Amino acid sequence: MEPFEHEIRKIRPYFPMLQRQMHGKPFIYLDSAATTHKPLAVIEAMSRFYSEEYATVHRSVYDFAAQATDHYQTVRNQVKQFLNAAFVEEIVFTKGTTDGINLIANSFLKAFAKPGDEVILSMMEHHSNLIPWQMVCAERGLTLKWIPMNAQGELELDEFERLLTDRTKIVSVAHIGNVTGTVNPIEKITQMAHSRGAKVLIDGAQSAAHVGVDVQKLGVDFYVFSGHKAYGPTGIGVLYGKKALLEKMPPYQGGGDMIEEVFFDRAVYQQAPLKFEAGTPPIAEVIGLGAALQFIESVGRDKIEAWELELLRYATQKMEEIPGLRILGTAPGKGGIISFQIEQLHPLDIGTLLDIRGIAIRTGNLCAQPTLRQLGVAQTARISFGVYNTHAEVDAFIQALKEVILLLRPTLSY
């Protein structure tokens, strides 16, 4: 048994959902790329805030409001340290990864782009890192370009270099592809983009909770991730942006809390990050995010990454032994994500029959239709790992998958 698996046994009881049954079977959760389950520390922090500490932030002088404001700001500092940002003012709270990308697509391009300028994405992007750019580019007369992806699920950087021009304003790519699991070479991509004067945004939805992230080392200009994919609550996300850029960007939304002074005909806005946080913020969710990041750090991101890579190795080896099974994305550097097809079987049938056996996986287009088209499929099945998964769960999944295949294709034998 892997040494860390002993620690996993101690971690699992702190996840209430993992103690449940599904269809009368032990619940095996293999869908952490969609959303992660929440440890008790997160649930209790949010419950305690609502039941014992609740107050709004930034607006009042009474004691509970002051305490809530201090707690809220403490989490902002915590996120700064989690990402190794240079300044706390570089941390903007959002509703999630999608909200952060929309903010940058609208605000950054409004400040820095003009008709005829260019935006570069990759062919492995989630719809959330595609649709916002399509919308703004169409509105502002900008050109979208695409970094090609090879059959293994790797970005073709030679082609990327040819796509870059002096009119490229921003490059936006996933840190880890949600279909292929490919870990993209972010430092190299950033260096290439910066050499042509372009800025870089990284979609960290699949990476922030799984690998160490140092935004200064990566050199990126913007980095976004969601709390709910990092063992925290829904409705909260993070946008990191270099201070000098955020200062030059206009607010994305208007309302209370993001203003310094208001007149009938004009307003003076707060400095970043508050000018990007209009309205009463999701205070309990921010507190939950703080508890989630503390949980991640208590386990150790290096341990989490190593354990998930061990599960990836173990599951990949087992799945490659199954006749007719094709894994989508075989790059040497991958995160804990395996998308797969089984010859002549529909992913929905696979997912439904696994569900009956208590196993939760993802099926469908994974919010990445263009990526799947590049890989020659319309839908797929996917398993993905979190810190709480085990070898035994992988074994149970493999056994159940073989049973499903025999049900759907009874002429096979194992």
Q: Has residue 88 got a pLDDT over 70?
A: yes
CATH number of the domain located at residue range(s) 3-30+300-408 in this protein:
3.90.1150.10
**Which range, of 126-130, 330-334, 405-409, averages the lowest pLDDT?**
405-409
The tokens 């101690």 sit on which residue?
10
Q: Which pLDDT score is estimated for 7?
A: 84
Q: Which pLDDT score is estimated for 411?
A: 64
Q: What is the pLDDT of residues 349-374, one digit of tens each?
A: 999 999 999 999 999 999 999 999 99
Q: Which residues are catalytic?
A: 367
Given the DSSP bridges, would you call strands 362-364 and 325-328 parallel, antiparallel or unpaired? unpaired
Q: Which pLDDT score is estimated for 294?
A: 98
Q: Which tokens hold the place of 55?
A: 């107050």
DSSP string, 233-292: -TT-EEEEE-HHHHHHSPPSS-STTSEEEE-SS-EEEPPTTGGG--SS--HHHHHHHHHH
Q: What angle do CA 384, 80, 217 make, to 5 degrees?
A: 75
Q: Which tokens hold the place of 223?
A: 């980095």
Contact 350, 363 (CB under 8 A): yes
User: Which among 364, 304, 297 has a CA at the least distance from the CA of 335?
Assistant: 304
Q: Which pLDDT score is estimated for 321?
A: 97
Q: Which residues pair with 261 in a beta bridge?
A: 268
> Residue 294, SS3?
helix
Q: What is the pLDDT of residues 6-50, one digit of tens each?
A: 888 899 999 999 999 999 999 999 999 999 999 999 999 999 999
Q: Which pLDDT score is estimated for 412?
A: 60
Query: Left (φ > 0), alpha (ψ -120 to 50) or beta: where does 218 sit?
Result: alpha
Give percent of the chain above pLDDT 70: 99
Q: Has residue 175 got a pLDDT over 80?
A: yes
DSSP string, 165-193: -TTEEEEEEESB-TTT-BB--HHHHHHHH
Chain centroid, CA 297 distance in Å:
17
Q: Has residue 179 got a pLDDT over 70?
A: yes
The tokens 């696979």 sit on which residue?
350
- Name the CATH topology of 43-297: Aspartate Aminotransferase; domain 2 (3.40.640)
Domain ranges, ordered by start, for the chain: 3-30+300-408, 43-297
Q: Which residues pair with 183 in a beta bridge?
A: 176
Identity of the amino acid at 316: T
Q: What is the pLDDT of residues 323-343, one digit of tens each?
A: 999 999 999 999 999 999 999
- The pLDDT of 285-293, averaged and rounded, is 98
Give percent of the chain above pLDDT 90: 95
Q: Which pLDDT score is estimated for 413?
A: 58
- The pLDDT of 204-221, averaged and rounded, is 98
Q: Which pLDDT score is estimated for 9?
A: 85
Size (the chain), residues: 414
Q: Has residue 414 got a pLDDT over 60?
A: no
Residues sharing a CB contact under 8 Å with residue 186, sequence separation 6 or more, in sequence order: 173, 175, 200, 202, 218, 220
d(CA 388, CA 380): 24
Report residue 363: phi and psi, to 5°: -135, 160
Average pLDDT, the chain: 96
Q: What is the pLDDT of residues 227-284, one digit of tens each?
A: 999 999 999 999 999 999 999 999 999 998 899 999 999 999 999 999 999 999 999 9
